[in-house]
Structure 1
Amino acid sequence: MSLRAWQNPWRVMLAVNVAVMAGVFIHKVMLPPYVPYIHLLVDYHFGFVKRALIGAIVALFTQKVPVWLVFALGGAVWLATALLFVKLFRRTFGFDAAHMPLFVFIAGSPFFLKNFMHTLGHFDIYGCLFSIILLLIPGRSIGFVLLAVLFSIILILIHHIHLLMYLPTIIVIVVLRHYLTAGIGRLNLAVGVISVLALGALFLALQFWGTMPIPEADFVAYLKIRMSDPARTDLLSFSYIWYQPLSKEISDTWARLPSNILGIPVFALLIWLHSPLWRYFSGLIRSLASDFHRQVVIAGIVGVTAAYLIMFAMVFDYSRWISNWAVCLFLILHAVKTLPSTRVVPTIAGDDRKTSVLGWIVTLIPRVGVIRPF
């Protein structure tokens, strides 16, 4: 490797991140896609049920669902998310040498694209994708609010847990990019309030009335009809999640808590490794020209964090929740950068030795995981 490359290690880190992502993808395609595959099989054949939108869309194009479709569809969504994020970062910060450390800490974070690669086929990334789109398009029109509502409806139909996972972030983005810019009028306020109530009603309908209305054996029999290889009955082992009530999910989560809580120090360490990024984010918030804007941003971050704490008490996929929480902060960071400020905040120092070490550690961590760290 040339001396010039080592003098600018952040570009080397970027290349290493690409290699790590490729390795995570190769490892992922070798694993059985238990949860992602069954979501491609379930549709609205038996009526309005939860977690069925993606499968219903797939059913419009094919009646027999091959296993490779999990990786093809998941890979396409991952690629779209990655490309749009690159476009977003270019628009918000630019790709000059000064902002390369910031890009490495975000795009190369084990919380972000690398973990989305590890969870390829899961529904988390759709919330991130829609949030990035909302950060890319103009936000002054009431149409921006309506598009955010449409995205939110789609996310809840994909999986109702998006109400806690990405809808709070979408709300923060709408508030920062529309209401703080266009102001609060009767029309957009009414649209906002009605939308929040409607989304809450949709969530309740799916949570409490979206269970499969037929016996599980009949449900599994129907899923076998849609499988390209009905002999792969192992891929149907998660059919019970369309019958499991909320009380059972909560009791399972609390039963696993003593062992899962052991991962909290690891999560705390992973968050600390991003400390240069958090310091920059904090500086952006402090630099905002309006005290009201600063208070809204802080309230938004608190609200997003509170939603994830509720998820922690309900569902035990802790590594996914921590990762998506960090991604939500990355996205809010971009929205905050567009608000009026009183000064230019120094970006992450690329020539600082400690920062470089943290950058390399973040780069070399391949992903966080699904339930427990790694």
Structure 2
Amino acid sequence: MLANVQKNPWRLLLAINAAVLVGVFIHKIQLPPYVPYIHLIVDYHFGFIKRALIGAIVALFTDKVPVWLVFALGGVTWLATLGLYAKLFRKTFGFTATTLPLFVFTAGSPFFLKNFMHTLGHFDIYGCALAIILLLMPAGSLLFVATAALFSIILVLIHHIHLLMYVPTIITIVVIRHYLVCGCNRTNVAFGLVAFAVVSALFFAAQFLGTMPIPEADFVAYLKSRMADPARTDLLQFSYIWYQPLAKEVADTWGRMPHNILGVPVFVLLIWLHMPLWRYFAGLIGALASEAHRRLVIAALIGISFAYLVMFAMVFDYSRWISNWAVCMFLILHAVKMLPAKQESPQIPAEDRKTNTFGLILTLIPRVGIIRPF
């Protein structure tokens, strides 16, 4: 029996991943939710401002926001994302013994669900969840393009950095699932361009016009009135982000760069440990029936990566950015699998010792982090 586990350990690795997730959750709920909590109490009370959609929705249901709501709302969102990804994986690849290593390398990656558990309450996961929905829904009409535009608007209202974080992935999914399959005509191209222009305009409005219009002391006083426990003033220490201009964010990022750049070798190592997955992804791209499709997919991957490079230069939450970049790669992998192929690409080998070792190491890594690795 032990020999069988050593030869094909993927079910065991899946069980270990579940145990690691429980441990990450127990650790997470013991930490103060500084940034996630303040996002639940900021709304549109003083007019249009950035980062306020989630708080505005919460305000529709309650006047006083308890701290536990961060973990409740974040937990429900995390479970929904897990369910959506499981459904997507089943639709794209199916759950079999041969696809189990692929599921472990994606769903069990420290970049993905485990890091979303560590960042419980942050806004990153909403982009992932909405992108998965787009991968699951029918894509044969302009309703699909309109839904993608609506999702992008929602994400920018949640946090305008989504224009770089998940909107490029959503655009890629729309191009792959709608335009490459249905073709391009004057109507759907014009509709897509208008949708992109609207989302871009909203981003610039949030970035440059979404600053809080009242003194910070008055803003903090209003936030205290929304708190179930106003004595927890420590949870309001990030109120300055609604006043901070882009130039200050960039200056802070470059000021921290010499220290934070030390984590890059760790990120490179983590990416390298996913090598069996990247080989499979490259095989999928190489197996596409159309050379034009291959070139477009490669260009999209470069474009998504460039958007994350811009984020690296602007905001210093590097562990989050590299984790979400990897998640975007996982999602595009599913989109590529939906394109016509000239041949089947070989699955990740289930009984290869080196692959098993990489899978075990990734399984045991509980998360990547928020700013610096681990």
Same fold (TM over 0.5): yes
CA distance in 2, matches of 1:356, 1:206: 46
CA distance in 2, matches of 1:290, 1:58: 47
Q: TM-score, normalised by structure 2?
A: 0.99
The code of the aligned residue for 1:21 comes to L
The code of the aligned residue for 2:150 comes to L
Q: Deviations over 1:60-103 (max 9, x none)?
A: 00000000000000000000000110000011001110010000
Q: Aligned residue for 1:64?
A: 64
CA distance in 1, matches of 2:179, 2:272: 33
The code of the aligned residue for 2:308 comes to Y
Q: Aligned residue for 2:219?
A: 219
What's the secondary structure of 1:231's corresponding residue? coil
Q: Aligned residue for 2:149?
A: 149
CA distance in 1, matches of 2:190, 2:360: 48
* Kept in 2: contact 1:34–1:236 (CA 8 A): yes
Q: CA deviation at 1:8?
A: 3.0
Q: Aligned residue for 1:302?
A: 302
Counterparts of 1:76-225 in structure 2 under 5 Å? Answer: 76-225=76-225
CA distance in 2, matches of 1:315, 1:6: 43
CA distance in 1, matches of 2:259, 2:311: 17
* Kept in 1: contact 2:50–2:211 (CA 8 A): yes
* Kept in 2: contact 1:6–1:12 (CA 8 A): no
CA distance in 1, matches of 2:45, 2:241: 17
The alignment covers a number of residue pairs equal to 374
* Kept in 2: contact 1:312–1:321 (CA 8 A): yes
Q: CA deviation at 1:6?
A: 4.6
CA distance in 2, matches of 1:362, 1:148: 32
CA distance in 1, matches of 2:367, 2:330: 16
Q: Aligned residue for 1:265?
A: 265
Percent of paired sites with the same residue: 72
Q: Aligned residue for 2:293?
A: 293
What's the secondary structure of 1:98's corresponding residue? coil
Q: Deviations over 1:106-126 (max 9, x none)?
A: 000000000000000000000
The code of the aligned residue for 1:130 comes to L
CA distance in 1, matches of 2:354, 2:206: 48
- Runs (4+) of structure 1 exceeding 6 A deviation are none
Q: CA deviation at 1:187?
A: 1.0
CA distance in 2, matches of 1:356, 1:73: 35
CA distance in 1, matches of 2:242, 2:172: 31
Q: CA deviation at 1:2?
A: 6.1
Q: CA deviation at 1:140?
A: 1.1
Q: Aligned residue for 1:324?
A: 324
What's the secondary structure of 2:99's corresponding residue? helix
Q: CA deviation at 1:5?
A: 4.4
Unaligned runs of 5+ in 2: none
Q: Deviations over 1:110-150 (max 9, x none)?
A: 00000000000000000000000000011111100000000
Q: CA deviation at 1:34?
A: 0.1
The code of the aligned residue for 1:245 comes to P
CA RMSD of aligned residues (A): 0.8
Q: TM-score, normalised by structure 1?
A: 0.99
The code of the aligned residue for 2:281 comes to F
Q: Deviations over 1:311-367 (max 9, x none)?
A: 000000000000000000000000000101111110000100000000000000000
What's the secondary structure of 2:342's corresponding residue? coil
Q: CA deviation at 1:4?
A: 4.9
* Kept in 1: contact 2:41–2:227 (CA 8 A): yes
CA distance in 2, matches of 1:69, 1:125: 16
1:249 and 2:249 equivalent? yes
CA distance in 1, matches of 2:103, 2:196: 33
CA distance in 2, matches of 1:2, 1:269: 29
